[in-house]
Chain A
Amino acid sequence: MAVIEVINVEKTYNESQIKVTALKNINLTIEAGEFTAIVGPSGSGKTTLLNLLGGLDKPTSGRIRVGDVWVDTLKGSKLINFRLHHIGFVFQSYNLIPVLSAGENVELIMQLQGVPAAERRKIAYSLLEKVGLADRYKSKPSQLSGGQQQRVAVARALASKPNFILADEPTANLDGKSAENLLQMMELLNKDDGVTFIFSTHDQRVVNRAHRVVVLEDGVIKES
């Protein structure tokens, strides 16, 4: 069974007087172990789609299944708990708490899940090792480069043992070299550990690394 199934989803924003249809007629299936890029120009609906997949927002119509849960029906604390235990998030920026060290940032999500302290520490350390930052456990985010910060964010996302990781333009604030390194590392995690990644981007070099590319244009899937 696919990890994600999107059926006939439409998303319309009604906030201002003008109605904006951000997504139309979206049908999409994502299997475990995919390394998929959502690609499209700015304003094409990438963030909107990822937010729906991550249970941060609700579709105007249509259905979204993650694992065996219909996320469009989840509400309140059930929804927050679902995000905590099933989805890993990497945002474009503001991923890390500046007063916590890299290691503590990774630990934080496990603490929210109720993992005991000793175990948290061990896992956080091994995850930082995995993203190549074993020696930066005690470093504050401000002491890390942008690329390193995004690696910590990936480690943090992995720490919750999610079904998949959603990364919304994770490389947007990085230089070419750092972006390259981050993608390499993500690909390695996908290959070695079978971590499912769904990331959005409008950077062609990043797109080239994807195993599958979903192209969005004006809220419609053009190619997948």
Chain B
Amino acid sequence: MLISLSWRNIWRNKTRSMIVVAAIAVGLFGGVMAVGILNGWINQRVHDSIYNEIAHVQIHNPEYLLNEETNLYINNTNEILAVTDTMKDVKGVSARIRLFCMAQSDRATTGMVVMGINPTEEEKVSQIYRKIIAGEYVDTTHQIPSIVIGSKAAEVLKLINYRITTEKMDTLLEQKLPEQIVDSVKLLIDKSYRKKSALLKDIKSILSKSNFQKYADRLASVFSEYRLNKSLVLTIQSSNGELHYQLFKVRGIYQTSNSQFDAANAFVDRSVLAKMAGLKPNQVHQVAIICNDMDKAQSVSNELAKLFPTVSVRSWKQTSPEIALYAQFGDFMGLIYVVIILFALAFGIINTMMMSVLERIKELGMLMAIGMNKVKVFIMIMLESVMLSLTGGVVGMGLSAVILAILGHTGIDFSAWSEGFAALGFSSVVYPSIGIIDYIEITVLVVLTGIISSLWPARRALKLNPIEALREE
């Protein structure tokens, strides 16, 4: 009955309570969305980082980590692989030769890391093979060996031409660029460019400044054509310290959400790179392992470290502490956000509850006179405050749950700022997600806010003297 009394007391002043409920709902909706987007980003960043770059566990010769030299390979690769093959938590293992090289195309030169991999092994560990945007993944059957490079590296190596054709106008329209923009760039049809800067210069002369800023990158990416099958000469230092070079053909371009990674990593057949570097088949620099579950990474890593004390075994948390930090503090940051919002809302709740107590002085005095003790008065006011907050909380979280369910499916497209995101390793489409735990935590925080907000108004009520409250004016 105390609960039903409190509930009815809340709705005595409908408008006032509705305003507070709406404020809490909107505030929490914002908070939950923020947590969801942050979670979505972090999950994607952690996932991409693990599956494109660092895997769950990495094994190296400890000296290689200090000084990435060709002859600092792992000495006992075969023993390690024999063990990992039998571990039930291990899903995939890839042994990689990893060398720094100079890459020279017909138009430019850059430094990068070349990974010698076995494509079948590698596909179980990294998802680069799924990120091919032009050509094919590493194919070991060609006469002249293949190299797969990132889109950013292709740009640096000038392996991109920009050609403007009538078909591409249709692509632009399909991509929902405004017709007016497409019409303007039609002026450039049949032109082609070797340099992005030259293309951008012409686009700039056609479009207004704001449209240029908005659309130039998307136009460039549609007009770009990778120059596949072009030669790339890699120069490396072999295990005996000599420089060796080898001709590859660029047969594939990949693109991940991390443009820094795309600029710096190329993939070739391991046996080709081994021969070039003077390494035997079992001499590799890195063994990368993917486990069945992210949470198994640490135990697998610990077990291997115990078995093979001479090599360095690191879980993804050690390989990339900043990624581990993201994963760890993502939820925490989101909750801080919610706490700040609730803190602001608490003032509204306190104010409403205070008004509600002051309006009921006579009634509260009467209740205390007939024998309602202080604990019950306190509980009644606290219940009112908690139910008021919780109503807002439930509305806000319900709203968020629905919207998050939709957006978690469709994603939120931040591609207007996608360049900036890619530079930081974040993809431009975010799939916000929020766990049951987050909802529980937020509910607890809302209830706490309700309780804390009731303290002051309840104190005011408890200080009432019943005979003074009841005295007629």
Contacts and interface: CB of A to CB of B under 8 A. Distances in A.
Contacts of B371: 80-81, 83-85, 109, 112-113, 160
Interface string A69-88: 00000000100110111000
B466 interface: yes
A141 to B, nearest CB: 11
Contacts of A47: 471
A217 to B, nearest CB: 21
Contact of B369 (A77, A83, A117): A83
A112 B368 CA distance: 11
Nearest to B376: A112
Interface in B419-471: 466-467, 470-471
Given A89-B370, A99-B9, A108 B472 contact: no
A137 interface: no
A111 interface: yes
Interface in B1-60: 1-2, 5, 8-9, 12
A56 B368 CA distance: 10
Contact of B8 (A80, A99, A111): A99
B363 interface: yes
Contacts of A144: none
A6 to B, nearest CB: 18
A92 interface: yes
B116 to A, nearest CB: 78
Interface centre among A80, A108, A117 (most CB of B within 10 A): A80
A19 B180 CA distance: 89
Interface string B343-386: 00000000000000000001101111111111010000000000
B356 to A, nearest CB: 12
A21 B343 CA distance: 50
B369 A108 contact: no
Interface residues of A, number: 31
Contacts of B366: 91, 94-95
A56 B373 contact: no
B363 A97 contact: yes
A58 B37 CA distance: 62
A104 interface: yes
B10 to A, nearest CB: 9
Interface string B370-411: 111110100000000000000000000000000000000000
A100 B2 CA distance: 11
A129 interface: no
A109 B368 CA distance: 11
Contact of B467 (A56, A80, A93): A56
A80 B368 contact: yes
Contacts, number: 66
A119 interface: no
B467 A112 contact: no
B8 A56 contact: no
B467 A57 contact: yes
Contacts of B12: 98-99
B374 A77 contact: yes
Nearest to A156: B370
Contact of A104 (B1, B376, B471): B1
A178 interface: no
A51 interface: yes
A113 B370 CA distance: 11
Given A77-B374, A84-B371, A94-B366, A107 B467 contact: no
A94 B470 contact: yes
Interface string A149-160: 000000010001
Interface of A: 47, 51, 54, 56-57, 77, 80-81, 83-85, 89, 91-95, 97-100, 104, 107-109, 111-113, 117, 156, 160
7 contacts: A47-B471, A77-B373, A81-B373, A84-B370, A97-B363, A99-B9, A160-B371
Given A84-B371, A94-B365, 20 more contacts: A56-B369, A56-B467, A80-B368, A80-B372, A81-B371, A83-B369, A84-B370, A91-B366, A91-B470, A92-B472, A93-B472, A94-B366, A94-B470, A97-B367, A98-B12, A98-B363, A99-B8, A108-B1, A111-B1, A113-B371
State the 10 A-B residue pairs at the shortest beta-carbon distance, nearest first.
A84-B371, A99-B8, A94-B362, A83-B371, A80-B373, A56-B467, A111-B1, A89-B370, A94-B366, A51-B467
